[in-house]
Amino acid sequence: MWLLQATLSKDSTQQAGKIDARRRRYILFFVSYITSSVMFFYGFKNFYAEQVLLPAILFGTAAAFLINISYFRWSGNLNLACNIEALLVGCFVLSLVYQGGFNNTALYWVFPFPAILFGLLGVKKALFSNGLLLIVLALMLFVPELIMAEYKEAEASRFIASLLIVIIVCWINDHYRERSHEAMELLQQSKEIQANTDPLTLLLNRRFIDSSLNFSLQQQADALLPMAVIICDIDHFKQLNDQYGHAAGDAVLRHLASLFRNNLRQQDIACRIGGEEFLFFLPKTPVDAALQVAEKIRHALLDNPLQLEQLALPVSASFGVASCINSDSLAAAIEHADKQLYQAKNSGRNRVC
């Protein structure tokens, strides 16, 4: 089960990472192209204004945005490009508030940028960056000697209060968006685990082999190979069902599943692949060690008969053992283990081959 959970966790993490990277990339493109276009427009509009600092801020920031997006297209380093973009956004906001903007309207242009920082940096880094930006802006507005622009005290206090509300709302939205995505991923993993689990014994089923194990062998062969393969078949299970009923047969299967879990390592994989047939995968295990494990399980079955009311049902099983030595030989290893199982049955049952 651990391998299925690890595989599903890795898949969901990779998928979530791809989606988040695509989202950040779109925000980076928007800020770099659309925002820089707006800045160029207003830069040209104020080109002949008395205050040369405003067009310098607009042209300089727009050019820096375009240089950064060009760097991203060349390097493909999304994290660094987003961090640089966020730094440029912060510098632009502070510079604009310092200068005052056209007709002292700089404060109105600040409000979109907290959301942009959350989009570029993620919840934790954006919360810190926005908090730092808010503190610096408050210092600039309430100590007017630090800046060129002149803002009314009431205007400054209302701006800081409004910006704080915007930051809090952005944080709540992004925080719970992430929590929602995590909950959906866990729900999807739960559904996948249920689809790969035998409902009677709670062991993995045959679908797991096709959907997860083969994939894991291809992706992390070094962590699994060589891998021993053991097939286990309950001896005379049909007779047990006929004599004691299907309820007793189900109890036997659950009893065996419990014994398997107690006698296998955490990293070993136990599957129910048929009515009374089980398949074990033992990562990083040679054949001689797997033969010992199979013998251990066989003796555990003999030493722990199923207690069914006042009746003790002795259960035995036959085992076939093989080895998977490369990522493309799993099917061949299972087939060889199956042949070994038939040899064990033809040799009198209740043995390991």
Task: Judge whether 270 and 260 are in contact, CB under 8 Å.
Answer: yes
| Region of residue 350 (left: phi > 0; alpha: psi -120 to 50; beta: else) | left
CA 233/CA 301 separation, integer angstroms: 12
Task: Judge whether 8 and 26 are in contact, CB under 8 Å.
Answer: no
Dihedral (CA of 148, 149, 155, 158) sign? negative
Length of the chain: 353
276 included as an active-site residue: yes
Residue type for position 220: Q
Q: How many CB atoms lie within 10 A of CB 122?
A: 16
CA 84/CA 48 separation, integer angstroms: 30
Beta-strand runs (E) in the chain: 204-205, 227-234, 269-272, 277-282, 306-308, 311-313, 317-324
CA 193/CA 6 separation, integer angstroms: 11
Task: Supply φ then ψ for residue 204, to 5 degrees.
Answer: -65, 160
Task: Supply φ then ψ for residue 182, to 5 degrees.
Answer: -65, -40
Question: 3-class SS at 197?
Answer: strand
Residue in 233, 214, 202 with CA at minimum distance from that of residue 324: 214
Task: Supply φ then ψ for residue 227, to 5 degrees.
Answer: -120, 125
CA 157/CA 151 separation, integer angstroms: 10
Catalytic residue among 145, 178, 182, 276: 276
Q: Specify burial of residue 76 (Cβ count, 10 A radius: 0-12, 13-18, 19+).
A: exposed
Residue type for position 302: L
Catalytic annotation, residues: 276
